[in-house]
Amino acid sequence: MVPGRLVLVSVVVLALVAPPALAGPGSAAAGAGAGVGPAAAAWVPPLSTRGRYIVDANGDRFKLRSGNWHGASGTWTGSGDPELDANHHAGENSGRVPLGLDRAPMSQIVAGFREIGVNSVRLPFSNEMLRDTRPVTDAAVAANPQLRGRTPLGVYDAVVAALTDADLAVILNNHTNTTRWCCGVDGNERWNASQSAAAWEDDWLFMARRYRANPRVVGADLYNEVRRSVWDDPNWGRGDAHDWFAASQRAGERILAEANPDLLIVVEGVNWVGIPVDGFFHERPTLAPARWLSHTLTTSGKLVYSAHFYDYTGPNHSGATSLGETSDPRYRDLSRAELHDVLYRQAMFVAAEAERHFTAPVWVSEFGVGGRAETGQKQRAWFGNFVDYLIATDADFAYWPLVGWHDDRTGNGWALLHWDRAGGRMGLYDGDDWRAADWTRLVGHAGRTGRVDPVPRWSMLSPDHGDFVQSARLRARPDWDPGARKAACPDGQRLAGLSHTGNRALCTDSGAPGLWPPSAGYEVVVDERHVPPGGDWASGYTKLQCPQGSFLVGYAVRGAAVSSALCAASGGAFPAGGRTVWFDRGDNRPAGARGGDFANGHYKGQCADDEYAAGIAYTGRLGSRRTPDALYCRKLR
């Protein structure tokens, strides 16, 4: 979120405080402006993904040209009387509802979004807001008297309805635990900072169910800017209470399985780890960890990754000024080429590299810059370079923020649309906002349009700390290997690769989607009963081989040791014969292997794209831990 400053309050204790409001020059009264955004194309919900693109129900590309309408998650800075405007970020008191409802009719605000080319809105909320039974003040909704007496959630309901009635897509965003301005060491650092993880998940189920009947509520943005608390960093895959990968994986699964199977699941990268002091480790990992550990949902085609970028932060810079500031460069200090290289490494590789286990759309769900008041050449150059990159990569985006206040054309200049106390609007296209040209280029860039054909899916299995069964069919059936950690491919995919150590695997539907018919069964294999006479493909090794006509979709481990193989019946026949792929002493994957590195730092074996895995071999001899040593790969046809 913008803008904020990271401040060091002791050698190891951090806090964020908001900077002074960005003021714009006071001049003539606001005009209505004239937008030049493209006409919204017809789209049919629900949304899903095909490779790096989001598509609608017809398979047509739906590019998120979004903005953030903040306020419901809170604007109070955390100190002083929350009723006083001065104690709210930039002096803008949202009154616990989306900003601007005190100054303009909701219909006018929503029309303004359409006018500037927005087709979707990221709508923040706090967990506290869901249980806040206090009616909003009349002042907070002065321009929308029909909302008087409602709770903040009731107002949020009305805003969602107004947006979707205008054919705008809405992405629900769990911004904070408590209703206050984000983002520092403020009790909102993690999804479970001021509440339990179970309460957080339950709140998401509540929200997903609440809007299930509204098909234009299209996404669940699980949590905003996961970051360090006073003592602890979040992580991506350690399996503890601070593991954002595990928490988002679980919450996304529950939302799709228990509440609303149509929603996109939006997972933001880790925003900050470490202590922002020169000499101490610190960085913004963003989505970089997804290269080595990516999400796999049971419902394929629902995952979207997201990232935030502002000029005043950097790949190793928190955005602090004075206390807590380090000597690391900010994004605005980088050359155009350096900036584009960093953006790729931190986030955009996820969308740019096709047919990898991590390939997914990347939604830059926050970026922005000061408007009329921003005279800094570095800031302006950064914004132009950043917009250039969004256009070049055809990225989905969401500007922060859409709505702000102004008085006599002076106020927090970050918003694209401002309203004064009398309801007068100061818009992006009123002739004196330097961002207008860049914004017009951005929303006017068509990018990829029309139908996006289905692409092969590649998925990682990571039973690092527990079961990783991504088959909805198998989740509904009894435990096939009690006490072991189990992993299974999403329905429609088959096992393609396995690691020698580390327990990870790769699944795909490449070349043969839907191999496991709904009417066909499966078998748990724990011995060599299906190895035919004369068919020893790994002499001296124990072979867990699937029966003829079946293929590997899962496996189980106890510690590092193979425990069982899970074979699904294809309902048909495969060609005879096969080959042994050894990976006990090095990688053994096809040249140019698709799927990516699914077990970084470990030896891996992978069948060819036109093959399926039919068996796993291991040895129990002295010195071995019964880890996988070979795959039996057979032709699909």
| Ordered structural domains, the chain, with CATH | 79-444 (3.20.20.80), 458-635 (no CATH)
Cα(26)–Cα(494) distance, integer angstroms: 63
pLDDT in tens, 534-551: 999 999 999 999 999 999
Tokens 């991504």 found at: 470
Residue 184 — pLDDT band, cuts 50, 70, 90?
confident
CA 20 vs CA 77, 213, 292, 378, 521: distances in Å? 12, 42, 40, 19, 64
Above 90 in pLDDT, residue 254?
yes
For position 29, what pLDDT does the model report? Answer: 30
pLDDT band at 16 (very low <50, low <70, confident <90, very high): very low
**Given pLDDT bands bounded at 50, 70 and 90, which one contains residue 622?**
confident
Q: What would the mean pLDDT of 122-151 be, rounded to a whole number?
A: 98
pLDDT score recorded for residue 40? 54
Q: What mean pLDDT do residues 628-634 have?
A: 98
Q: How far is CA 88 from CA 76, 181, 233, in A?
A: 4, 8, 27
User: Per-residue b/e over 202-226, b at no fewer than 16 CB within 10 Å?
Assistant: ebbbebbebbeebebbbbbbbbbbb
Estimate the crossing angle of helix 152-165 against helix 106-115, to 10 degrees.
40
Characterize 133-158 residue by residue with b for buried, 16 or more Cβ atoms within 10 angstroms of its Cβ, and e for exposed. eebbeeebbbbbeebeebbbbebbbb
At residue 616, the pLDDT reads 98
Beta bridge partners of 561: 558
Which residues are paired to 275 by β-bridges?
Answer: none
Mean pLDDT of 423-428: 96
Report helix, strand or coil for 28.
Answer: coil
- Counting every residue written for the chain, the total comes to 637
* SS3 label, residue 405: strand
Q: pLDDT category, 82, cuts 50, 70, 90?
A: very high
Split at pLDDT 50, 70, 90, the class of 23 is very low
Checking DSSP bridges between strand 630-635 and strand 611-618, what pairing results, if any?
antiparallel
Please give the Cα distance from 444 to 440 (Å, whole number).
6
Mean pLDDT of all residues in 184-198: 94
The whole-angstrom distance between residue 204's C-alpha and the CA centroid of its chain comes to: 15
Mean pLDDT value of segment 286-305: 98
- What is the model's pLDDT at position 10? 29
Residue 198 has pLDDT above 50, yes or no: yes
Query: How do 217-221 and 264-268 pair as beta strands?
Result: parallel
Averaged pLDDT of the chain: 93
Query: What mean pLDDT is predicted for residues 540-569?
Result: 97
3-state helix/strand/coil string of 322-353:
CCCCCCCCCHHHCCHHHHHHHHHHHHHHHHHC
**Which candidate, 34, 30, 32, 55, places its Cα nearest to that of 44?**
55
Backbone angles phi, psi at 343, to 5 degrees: -60, -40
Other beta carbons within 10 angstroms of residue 166's beta carbon come to 15
Q: Is the pLDDT of residue 2 over 60?
A: no
Average pLDDT over residues 474-484: 96
User: What are the two backbone dihedrals, phi and then psi, of residue 12, each rounded to the nearest 5 degrees?
Assistant: -125, 0
Q: What is the pLDDT, as a whole number, of residue 174? A: 98
pTM of the complete model: 0.94
- pLDDT of 19 reads 29
Q: What is the pLDDT of residue 17?
A: 27
Residues 6+ positions from 576 with CB-CB distance below 8 Å: none
Instruction: Give the pair of three-digit tokens for residue 438.
Output: 């860049």
Flag whether pLDDT at 7 surpasses 90: no
21-35, 210-224, 515-529: the lowest-pLDDT one? 21-35
What the block records as the tokens of 247 is 């928490």
Strand ranges inside 250-361, DSSP E: 264-268, 273-274, 282-283, 303-308
Burial class of residue 231 in the structure, from the number of CB atoms within 10 Å of its CB (0-12 exposed, 13-18 middle, 19+ buried) = exposed
Task: Give which of 325, 319, 78 is closest to 186, Cα–Cα.
Answer: 78
pLDDT at position 1 is: 54
Phi/psi at 59 (5° precision)? 85, 10
pLDDT in tens, 325-355: 999 999 999 999 999 999 999 999 999 999 9
pLDDT band at 38 (very low <50, low <70, confident <90, very high): very low
pLDDT at 35 exceeding the cut of 80: no
Structure tokens, 383? 């914004």
